Amino acid sequence: MASAVETGKKLAAYQAVNDYITPEHKVVGIGSGSTVVYAVERILQRPELKNIVYVPTSFQSKLLIIEGGLTLGSVDQFPEIDVTIDGADEVDEQLNAIKGGGACQFQEKVVAEAAKKFVIIADYRKKSTKLGIEWTKGVPIEVVPMAYKGVMKSLETKLSLKPQKSTLRMAVNKAGPVVTDNGNFVIDAHFGAIEDPTSLLKEIKLLTGVYEVGLFCNMAEIAYFGEADGTVSTLKK
């Protein structure tokens, strides 16, 4: 039997697709992660959505689109996207999010920013009053490999909010660090509760060697959460 978490992910994803993707749409962004698998599953159940071009945020979502027999597009072909649906590692009460647990934050942000509407789908464990409380693995920071040591030092010395811990993310079944789809490394920096994610994002982004930061601030229009009791709750701007 499916766990409450998996059921929650599926319900949230199905509801978001039902509410936000219509046959009138021309281009839709498809995010990364386990919840997005259910979004694509729901799209495939609706033949009227077959004529839309789908833009992936990662190799994983590209495969989901291809294997589902959907039309694959890229953000350079389609710089304007009708709606992007993506998961999140944590969402606060202002709809700011931490993303990049799967190391796809750069492409996720490009596709989210290209969209007229950005929709988050997640399970109830991802809801938080402030970022950094529930998701304690840290804010994912994608860095150019040659600069990672300098960035780690700058995180300790140049930010107004110091990280409690920052680590270079290591691969599981490969010797050495995780390498992103863009050929970069990922530093996970845990700050504890983040009072002002927008300011922190700006400060980290200015550090030389930083490619992208997994803080998504003032971007989402709505978040769907699959609850433990089988219902779906929403958080709207």
Active site residues: 108
Report the distance separating Cα 116 and Cα 80, nearest Å.
8
Could you give the 3-state DSSP secondary structure of residue 79? Answer: coil
Encoding tokens for residue 220?
Answer: 């989402």
Contact 73, 63 (CB under 8 A): no
Q: What does DSSP assign to residue 177?
A: B
Contact 124, 226 (CB under 8 A): yes
Report the distance separating Cα 33 and Cα 13, nearest Å.
12
Question: CA nearest 125: which of 6, 1, 2?
Answer: 6
Question: CA nearest 59: which of 122, 9, 10, 107?
Answer: 107
Partner residues linked to 225 by β-bridges: 122, 233
Half-sphere exposure of residue 55: CA atoms within 13 angstroms, side-chain side? 26
Residue type, 190: H
